[in-house]
Amino acid sequence: MEKFKQMTAIAAPMPLINIDTDMIIPKQFLKTIKRSGLGVSAFHEMRYQMDGTENPDFVLNQDAYRNANILVAGDNFGCGSSREHAPWALLDFGVRCVISTSFADIFYNNCFKNGILPVIVTDKELNVLMQDAEKGSNARMVIDLESQLIETSDGKVINFNVDQHRKHCLINGLDDIGLTMEKAASIDMFEKHMATNAPWV
C-alpha cells in the first residue's frame, strides 16, 4: 500500500448526497479478477453518455478537474454494496482523499486498506471546502494527515479526527495481515478456548 502523509492537490466538488458504490463503479466492472484498471470506468453512468462519449456536465470531465486527487462530496458517501472495486476505481483514477460529512461503514474501512484517506467534517466545514473546490484547478487544497488538517486554497485551516491505528498504517503504508500474523499466538489460544467452550462452532 502506498504511504499517505501530505498532499497538495485539486479537489473536485460532488455536492450530491448518498453517492453509492454502484454509482462509483457499476456492476459490469466487478467481473475483473484484478485490482487495477478501473479508473477509466469510475462513475461510469454519470461520466459517459449512452453512446460512450463523455458527459460534459460531469465534474471529472471538466478540464479543471480531470486531474483532481481529492473529492469533496455530499453526505453518506460510499453507501450500498461492499465492493472494494469502488476505492480501487477511485485510486486508479488518482483520488487519494475523499471528504464528506459521513461515509458508509464498509466503504470507509475499504479506503484505509488502499491508501485512500476518508475525512469526516461538519456540515459547515463541508460548505467551506465545497466552495473552495468549486474554484477550479487554480485552487489547491492541502491535506496533512500527520497534523490532521486540511488547508483551503485561501489558507483556512480545518482540523479532523482519525483513528490512530489507521493513521499509523496509512502513514507507514503498513499491511494489516502482516501485523495480525504477529499475534498468531493469541489467535491459537482463542481457538483452543473455543474448542472447549463452544465445541459446536
Least distance in Å: CB of 138 to another protein? 26
Q: To the nearest 10°, the Cα dihedral for 59, 160, 3, 170?
A: -120
Least distance in Å: CB of 50 to another protein? 7
Q: Which grid coordinates are listed for 93? A: 483514477
Which amino acid is residue 96, in one-letter code? R
Least distance in Å: CB of 81 to another protein? 5
Least distance in Å: CB of 62 to another protein? 19
Nearer to another protein, 157 or 194 (CB): 194
Instruction: Please answer whether residues 17 and 74 qualify as being in contact, where contact means their C-beta atoms are separated by less than 8 angstroms.
Output: yes
How far apart are alpha carbons 72 and 60 in whole angstroms?
A: 12
Judged by the rule CB under 8 A, the positions of this chain that interact with another protein are 15-18, 20, 22-23, 26-28, 30-35, 45, 50, 74-76, 79-84, 87, 102-106, 109-110, 113-114, 163-165, 176-177, 180-181, 183-184, 186-187, 189-191, 194, 198-201
How far apart are alpha carbons 199 and 201 in whole angstroms?
A: 6
